[in-house]
Amino acid sequence: MKKIESLPFVAEFVRLCSIGDAQGFHERNGGNLSYHMTADEAKAARKLLAGRKPGPWTDVDPKGDVAVPGLAGEWFLVTGSGKFFRNVAYDAEASAAICELDGDGSHYRVRWGLRGGGRPTSEFSSHLMNLEVKDRLSGGKVRVIYHAHPANLIAMTYVVPLKDRDFTRALWNTMTECPVIFPEGIGVVKWMVPGGREIAVSTSKLMEKYANVVWAHHGVFCAADTFDNAMGQMETIEKAARIFMLVLSSGRKPLAGITSAGYRAIGKAFRVEIPARFL
Contacts with Zn ion by CB under 5 A lie at: 219
Q: Sort residue 217 into left (φ over 0), alpha (ψ -120 to 50) or beta.
A: left
- Letter for the amino acid at 46? R
Identify which of residues 4 and 211 has a Cβ nearer to Zn ion in the complex: 211
Least distance from Zn ion to the Cβ atom of residue 149, Å: 6
Identify which of residues 196 and 219 has a Cβ nearer to Zn ion in the complex: 219
Residue nearest to Zn ion (CB): 219
Cα 102 from Cα 117, distance rounded (Å): 20
33: burial class by Cβ within 10 Å (0-12, 13-18, 19+)? buried
Identify which of residues 48 and 192 has a Cβ nearer to Zn ion in the complex: 192
CA distances from 92 to 5, 13, 114, 248, 259 (A): 7, 10, 8, 40, 46
List 123, 132, 235, 238, catalytic entry: 123
**Among 8, 110, 13, CA closest to 52:** 110
Identify which of residues 7 and 200 has a Cβ nearer to Zn ion in the complex: 200
Cα 49 from Cα 43, distance rounded (Å): 10
Cα 162 from Cα 249, distance rounded (Å): 20
Cα 64 from Cα 117, distance rounded (Å): 20
Least distance from Zn ion to the Cβ atom of residue 265, Å: 37
Tell me whether residue 132 is one of the annotated catalytic residues. Answer: no
Burial 158-189 (b: 16+ CB within 10 A, else e): eebebebeebbbbbbbbbeebbbbbbbbbbbb
Cα 98 from Cα 197, distance rounded (Å): 22
Least distance from Zn ion to the Cβ atom of residue 197, Å: 16
Least distance from Zn ion to the Cβ atom of residue 221, Å: 9
Identify which of residues 216 and 248 has a Cβ nearer to Zn ion in the complex: 216
Least distance from Zn ion to the Cβ atom of residue 211, Å: 18
Pairing of strands 75-79, 96-101: antiparallel
Instruction: Just list the catalytic residues.
Output: 123
